[in-house]
Amino acid sequence: MVEAEEAAFSFDTYTIPSFSYKESGADDRPLHIKFNPSGRYIQKERKFELTVEFRAYRKGNKSKPIIKVTSIGIFKFREKISSNDIPDYFYANALAIMFPYIRAFISTLTLQANIRLIRLDLLNLSRLKQPLMDNTKVI
């Protein structure tokens, strides 16, 4: 049996500062989903602000998103570390931690709108790790 190692970071909180939902009637076309992750590492405060922009379009209509959600997750590091010392696994795990909150928000929003429930499947977000790393600024 292998003993688990404590992570170098913890999830503090999240907010959804902006969203929009524009669905007109029943449309059975599948959703096309896009993510745009970015981050700000505030070294002095040991804090990482993860911003995830989420957009969903009906297939064949990429110019008009039906859902746009911007979410911000705050992660804290146990120790003050340089940006180069952020563990590689942080970027993939931070996205995986935030996705269930985005997913639940979208389900609740569309359920309350009483037009059509949108339930997102589980997704493999590992391809978003590199874009997040590339779009992270150190402050």
DSSP code, position 81 = -
| DSSP states along 38-95 | EEEEEGGGTEEEEEEEEEEEETT-TTS-SEEEEEEEEEEESS---GGGS-HHHHHHHH
**How does pLDDT run across 77-114, given as a tens digit for each residue?**
999 999 999 998 999 999 999 999 999 999 999 899 88
Q: Is 69 helix (H, G, I), strand (E, B) or coil?
A: strand
> Of 10, 14, 52, which Cα lies nearest the Cα of 34?
52
What per-residue confidence (pLDDT) applies to 25? 67
What per-residue confidence (pLDDT) applies to 114? 86
**How does pLDDT run across 34-76, given as a tens digit for each residue?**
999 999 999 999 999 999 999 999 888 878 899 999 999 999 9
Residue 4: is its pLDDT beyond 90? no
The residue that leads in pLDDT, 118 or 43, is 43
Residue 124: is its pLDDT beyond 80? yes
What per-residue confidence (pLDDT) applies to 135? 98
